[in-house]
Amino acid sequence: MAESETGEIDTRGTVTRRDFLRLLGAAGVGLAFAPFIPWGQFMPNPSNIVPKKVKVTLSDGTTANLKTFPVNSSEVITYPVTGDPVLDSEAFKKWQFVRLPPEMGGSVNDISAFRVYSMVCLHLWCLWKYWPEIGRRRGECPCHGSMYNMLNGKAFAGPASLQAPPSNVLPLLFLEADGTGDLWIKPAVWDVNVNGIVGYGRLLHS
């Protein structure tokens, strides 16, 4: 604290113990009501775009096909696509399109072999990636070590695993396959009970 010209103590810009306790109290109230806040209204989800059924488009411009996409591999895809390169480069539009390893059912030729999860880590919004190596085969965030189960998108290690539902399960996209094996993304519903909310999470229903 600085002393003014009159010899009085200047407390401007400092936080008193009472102010600090008030801040702690306000934070506690906020955390208590967090599960009941309609986060979808505030999170940077693509709510200005009407989701529609679209093909799973890979980085080379081709459509992912359940007969040809390699088992135990992944690729980053964009959804929903706006056509604007700047908007489409946003992290909140990036998803990990994963074909599961054999031991998780990735060898079958139907949509159950695939998962599409938001790449935004539920801890502090870094981007995680899929690791296909034996003994790993999970999603890992490089920032703080959160790890995700590829079968259901649930965090099982790291800070994201300590968060309360729905903020411990990654949002996902639902798929369907046509007669040729091409994979399509069904229109998303940005709700914790359906596709989830990007950056916030999804409720895992048994």
- Residues 180-190 have pLDDT tens digits of 999 999 999 99
Q: Are residues 178 and 148 in the same domain?
A: yes
Cβ atoms of 51 and 95 within 8 Å: the answer is no
Query: What does the DSSP 8-state code read for residue 68?
Result: T
Give 140-182 pLDDT, tens digit per residue.
Answer: 999 999 999 999 999 999 999 999 999 999 999 999 999 999 9
d(CA 186, CA 174): 6
Indicate whether 24 belongs to any domain: yes
Q: Are residues 53 and 153 in the same domain?
A: yes
pLDDT for 52: 87
pLDDT for 198: 96
pLDDT at residue 202 tops 90? yes
pLDDT at residue 57 tops 90? yes
Q: Are residues 8 and 56 in the same domain?
A: no
d(CA 139, CA 122): 12
Please name the residues in contact with 73: beta carbons below 8 A apart, sequence gap of 6 or more. 98, 99, 132
pLDDT for 51: 78
Cβ atoms of 47 and 54 within 8 Å: the answer is no
pLDDT at residue 45 tops 60? no
pLDDT for 22: 60
Cβ atoms of 160 and 145 within 8 Å: the answer is no
At 95, list the tokens.
């998803």
Indicate whether 155 belongs to any domain: yes
d(CA 115, CA 150): 7
Which residue segment(s) compose the domain that 10 sits in? 2-36
Q: Are residues 141 and 172 in the same domain?
A: yes
Which residue reads 């081709």 in tokens? 62
Total of domains in the chain: 2
Q: Are residues 97 and 156 in the same domain?
A: yes
pLDDT at residue 36 tops 70? no
Give 66-106 pLDDT, tens digit per residue.
Answer: 999 999 999 999 999 989 999 999 999 999 999 999 999 99
Q: Are residues 87 and 9 in the same domain?
A: no
Task: Provide the CATH number for the domain around residue 79.
Answer: 2.102.10.10
Q: Are residues 70 and 165 in the same domain?
A: yes
Indicate whether 203 belongs to any domain: no
Q: Are residues 13 and 72 in the same domain?
A: no
Q: Are residues 75 and 118 in the same domain?
A: yes
Q: Are residues 175 and 109 in the same domain?
A: yes
Give 110-140 pLDDT, tens digit per residue.
Answer: 999 999 999 999 999 999 999 999 999 999 9
Position with higher pLDDT, 24 vs 193: 193
Indicate whether 193 belongs to any domain: no
Indicate whether 101 belongs to any domain: yes
Give how far Cα 154 sits from Cα of 8, 165, 188, Å.
57, 10, 19
CA–CA–CA angle 79, 84, 86 (5° rounding): 90
